[in-house]
Amino acid sequence: MINTVYDFVREKTGLRLDGPVRLLTQLRHFGVYFSPINVFYCFDQHESLVAQVAEVSNTPWNERHAYVLWEGNRRPGSAERYSHAKEFHVSPFMGMDSQYEWRIGSPGEKLNLSLGCDRQGDRIFQADLQLNRIAMTDGQLIRGMVRRPIAAAHIISAIYFQALRLWMKKCQFYPHPQSDQENHVQNTPPAKDLTNLKNRQQD
Question: CA 12 to CA 22: how far, in whole Å?
Answer: 19
For residue range 70-106, what is the model confidence (pLDDT) as tens digits? Answer: 999 999 999 899 999 999 999 999 999 999 999 999 9
pLDDT-derived band of residue 152, with 50, 70 and 90 as boundaries? Answer: confident
Q: What residues does 55 pair with on adjacent strands?
A: 38, 66
Question: CA 92 to CA 98: how far, in whole Å?
Answer: 13
Share of the chain above pLDDT 70, in %: 88
Q: Is the dihedral of CA 2, 15, 25, 203 positive or negative?
A: negative
pTM metric for this prediction = 0.84
Does position 196 have pLDDT exceeding 80, yes or no? Answer: no
DSSP characters over 131-168:
EE-----HHHHHHHHHH-TTHHHHHHHHHHHHHHHHHH
Q: Where are the domains of the chain?
A: 2-202
Distance of CA 122 to the CA centre of its chain: 22
Q: What residues does 143 pair with on adjacent strands?
A: none
Does position 200 have pLDDT exceeding 80, yes or no? Answer: no
SS3 at position 10: helix
Question: CA 51 to CA 194: how far, in whole Å?
Answer: 15
